[in-house]
A and B are shown apart, each in its own frame.
Chain A
């Protein structure tokens, strides 16, 4: 992976182990641009939080270098890094009021009283909590606490803001609202944000780029659209969004296309992304919304007979679980629009998809 010299944050060959036996972070190279909103996404234990903690200075890399703004920060104490951080449970100081919480980073920097006041005013206005100045954290709702934590991480104009699953404790509606709000604050301030989450929806909504972590490694680093549309391996395809998986053997590998035999049932034309030579196993990845029901003749290169097993009405669309190619877990999303086919459980249909929507990836 390239480590551009102009990058704002640079991880160079970083490794981390806690017990000297297993690597929590394996050979991480990651360049974060100035002003970027980068999300580290992955299941728990994938190394994303460790990566964030190394950047914040609470964990020391076992090997490698971390640079911030052109300066190596491996041995820089956390309080000298000028990095704002929002913690999972906000970590607001319970013995201080909202105002005192916000004043904390400013007073340890020995700013003048008037300047502190002015910065607190600005930060509170930004998160719309100006009336809550004198309250203590325990007197605030979860969403308000979250905003205070955000304001506190931003009030001293840090070079970089780190967020460690900051919305995890909020309910769904509030979480979605805060996602947009954080996104707007990022756009208005132009500050660089590194965000850690295990919620892929959150990652896709907010980020400029997403680094998908698994097993201590970055599986793919790409924009949300690329990640969803063009996953580079089966882990990413499976982790981001919904995915139909079919395993088979490559029978033919041509220029920009391939054929894959799935069991003894059928031959599928697919887009080769990460496969070996012909004769090797592969996992085919296909988004449910890319499957068409009863396609017009000649519209799709892949057309198969299927049987509807189950229908789940979701409002804007209907999920149909169908039996096809020997698998009963194949999901088709049927949008609730005009000309929606009339399906019933047990009915026989034909489904089809284009080869370019069906990505042949590494065997899972």
Chain B
């Protein structure tokens, strides 16, 4: 008996079955890996790697790290109260001199200025002065040049930016800052980002709701029409989908203008021109139009799978048209609604071009500020932190959504 059992695990020529199986599977596995590898490498290079780089930038003192090493070491023992002693001043002076030779002193000044406004000009002034001096003492020079150098707050900033990593960008993205006694809120007149995030999520939510309200009946119509007519109508839905986002946004820009065709019509009818361009209204209209197919298609594909006999069965069992819809048809479309709405909501969170072109200054979303920090301010750290916060909030929402709706029940098509 035992012999027979062992024999079962061997092939006829005595090689263990498992080994043979692994050999047989190997070429198949290699083929599978080979097929996946190009996309995997592409994703790593174009998505994961940039993501990691930007995440690192958001916590790094790029402008100052490595340029204030002497200062950092000298201030290590300083308690943050009062004015540092001569060694601190001397170290800063040496660092500034070294940086100035490499034409990098401006970078340091700019970074410190972002946390201590007005520091830019003070740094320029003192850099010129210390450059002229061969040796110290420097403390007197600093203090006599400007009284700002006796402000412990400035020295605390200098100390914090001299280290390699900083929580500054992430805190700023949440309207927080490192105060003397830990993390505190920034003054109300400087707090912008919480407002921007709230606005971003609000606009995304409203657009998602509108695409659902408009798309659901159309999806139902498409799903219940005979195939030929459904295909015709589907082309009408898809046509805008195939048009470039920029073209469609520009079209809305033309349509919504004060001198645009919609307002021409309005003037003809009610003798009034409405303000539609550069408003929240315009932003939401244009975004709803662009996002409509994203919400509609998953709902449509789920509706296609619901047999018409279900509603008929409900009707024959005594339910009126609305009851049959609400209790039998609608619940079966929920996986499609969940998928479509999630898709639209998450895509809306990243909108940039549309609000930038048809929205007003109060309608700009997070992406606008990311672009602003990237292109105008050249502050990659802040841009990365803003994007990171958006990513984290989105993932938390996704997790919540999964708990409530269940992603496994979701159908994208």
Range class of the A interface residue count: 20 to 34
Q: Chain A contacts of B332 at CB under 8 A?
A: 93-95
Q: Chain B contacts of A87 at CB under 8 A?
A: 309, 312-313
CA distance A109 to B327 in the complex (A): 14
Decide: A91 near B318, CB < 8 A? Known: A104-B327, A108-B323: no
Check A85 against B318 for contact (C-beta < 8 Å).
Answer: no
For chain A, residues 47 to 102, give those with C-beta under 8 angstroms from any C-beta of chain B. Answer: 56-58, 77-79, 81-85, 87-89, 91-95
Decide: A58 near B320, CB < 8 A? Known: A93-B328, A94-B332, A95-B332: no
Q: Chain B contacts of A78 at CB under 8 A?
A: 312, 315-316
Q: Chain B contacts of A104 at CB under 8 A?
A: 314, 317, 319, 327-328
Give the Cβ gap from B310 to chain A, nearest Cβ, in Å: 5
Q: Chain A contacts of B324 at CB under 8 A?
A: 79
Which listed residue (B313, B319, B321) contacts A91, Cβ 8 A? Answer: B313
Contact with B along A139-176 (1 / 0, CB 8 A): 00000000000001100100000100000000000000
Range class of the B interface residue count: 10 to 19
Contact with B along A219-236 (1 / 0, CB 8 A): 000000000000000000
Give the Cβ gap from A119 to chain B, nearest Cβ, in Å: 13
A105 in the interface (beta carbon within 8 A): yes
Q: Chain B contacts of A152 at CB under 8 A?
A: 317
Q: Chain B contacts of A153 at CB under 8 A?
A: 316-317
Contact with A along B289-317 (1 / 0, CB 8 A): 00000000000000000010110111111
B14 in the interface (beta carbon within 8 A): no
B331 in the interface (beta carbon within 8 A): yes
Which listed residue (A58, A79, A89, A92) contacts B319, Cβ 8 A? Answer: A79
Give the Cβ gap from B207 to chain A, nearest Cβ, in Å: 28
Check A84 against B309 for contact (C-beta < 8 Å).
Answer: no
B interface secondary structure, majority: helix
Check A95 against B331 for contact (C-beta < 8 Å).
Answer: yes
CA distance A89 to B310 in the complex (A): 10
Give the Cβ gap from B175 to chain A, nearest Cβ, in Å: 44
Check B318 against A108 for contact (C-beta < 8 Å).
Answer: yes
Closest to B316 in A: A85
Q: Which of A58, A83, A95, A152 has the most B CB atoms < 10 Å from its CB?
A: A95
CA distance A83 to B318 in the complex (A): 8
CA distance A84 to B321 in the complex (A): 17
Closest to A80 in B: B318
Q: Chain B contacts of A89 at CB under 8 A?
A: 307, 309
For chain A, residues 247 to 278, give those with C-beta under 8 angstroms from any C-beta of chain B. Answer: none
Give the Cβ gap from A96 to chain B, nearest Cβ, in Å: 8
Q: Chain B contacts of A79 at CB under 8 A?
A: 315-321, 323-324
Check A105 against B331 for contact (C-beta < 8 Å).
Answer: no
Check B316 against A56 for contact (C-beta < 8 Å).
Answer: yes
Q: Chain A contacts of B307 at CB under 8 A?
A: 89, 91
CA distance A92 to B332 in the complex (A): 12
Give the Cβ gap from B262 to chain A, nearest Cβ, in Å: 42
Closest to B313 in A: A91
Contact with A along B311-347 (1 / 0, CB 8 A): 0111111111101100110011000000000000000
Check A105 against B318 for contact (C-beta < 8 Å).
Answer: yes
Give the Cβ gap from A191 to chain B, nearest Cβ, in Å: 15
Which listed residue (B316, B328, B331) contacts A84, Cβ 8 A? Answer: B316
CA distance A56 to B316 in the complex (A): 7
Give the Cβ gap from B120 to chain A, nearest Cβ, in Å: 64
Check B309 against A91 for contact (C-beta < 8 Å).
Answer: yes
Give the Cβ gap from A237 to chain B, nearest Cβ, in Å: 34
Q: Chain B contacts of A156 at CB under 8 A?
A: 317-318
Decide: A85 near B313, CB < 8 A? Known: A93-B328, A94-B332, A95-B332: yes
Give the Cβ gap from B313 to chain A, nearest Cβ, in Å: 4
Give the Cβ gap from B226 to chain A, nearest Cβ, in Å: 12
Q: Chain A contacts of B310 at CB under 8 A?
A: 91, 93
Closest to A155 in B: B317
Give the Cβ gap from B150 to chain A, nearest Cβ, in Å: 72
Q: Chain A contacts of B320 at CB under 8 A?
A: 77, 79, 108
Closest to B335 in A: A95
Give the Cβ gap from B318 to chain A, nearest Cβ, in Å: 5
Check A109 against B318 for contact (C-beta < 8 Å).
Answer: yes
Q: Chain A contacts of B316 at CB under 8 A?
A: 56-57, 78-79, 81, 83-85, 153, 162
For chain A, residues 24 to 59, give those with C-beta under 8 angstroms from any C-beta of chain B. Answer: 56-58
Give the Cβ gap from A162 to chain B, nearest Cβ, in Å: 8
Give the Cβ gap from A166 to chain B, nearest Cβ, in Å: 12
CA distance A78 to B328 in the complex (A): 16
CA distance A77 to B320 in the complex (A): 8
Q: Chain B contacts of A57 at CB under 8 A?
A: 315-316
CA distance A104 to B315 in the complex (A): 11
CA distance A79 to B324 in the complex (A): 10
Check B317 against A105 for contact (C-beta < 8 Å).
Answer: yes
Check B318 against A88 for contact (C-beta < 8 Å).
Answer: no
Give the Cβ gap from A108 to chain B, nearest Cβ, in Å: 5
Q: Chain B contacts of A108 at CB under 8 A?
A: 317-320, 323, 327
Contact with A along B67-83 (1 / 0, CB 8 A): 00000000000000000
Check B314 against A58 for contact (C-beta < 8 Å).
Answer: no
Q: Chain B contacts of A81 at CB under 8 A?
A: 316
CA distance A85 to B307 in the complex (A): 15
Interface residues of A, Cβ cutoff 8 Å to B: 56-58, 77-79, 81-85, 87-89, 91-95, 104-105, 108-109, 152-153, 156, 162
Q: Write 17 A-B pairs (CB below 8 A) sorted by A numbering.
A: A56-B312, A57-B315, A77-B315, A78-B312, A79-B318, A79-B323, A85-B317, A91-B307, A91-B310, A93-B313, A104-B314, A104-B317, A104-B328, A108-B318, A108-B327, A109-B318, A153-B316
Name 20 extra pairs, CB < 8 A, besides A57-B316, A58-B312, A91-B312: A78-B315, A79-B315, A79-B317, A79-B319, A79-B323, A85-B312, A85-B317, A89-B307, A91-B309, A92-B313, A93-B310, A93-B314, A93-B328, A95-B331, A104-B314, A104-B317, A108-B320, A108-B323, A109-B318, A152-B317
- Kindly list the 3 A-B residue pairs having the minimum CB-CB distance in the complex, ordered from nearest: A105-B317, A91-B313, A91-B309
Interface residues of B, Cβ cutoff 8 Å to A: 307, 309-310, 312-321, 323-324, 327-328, 331-332
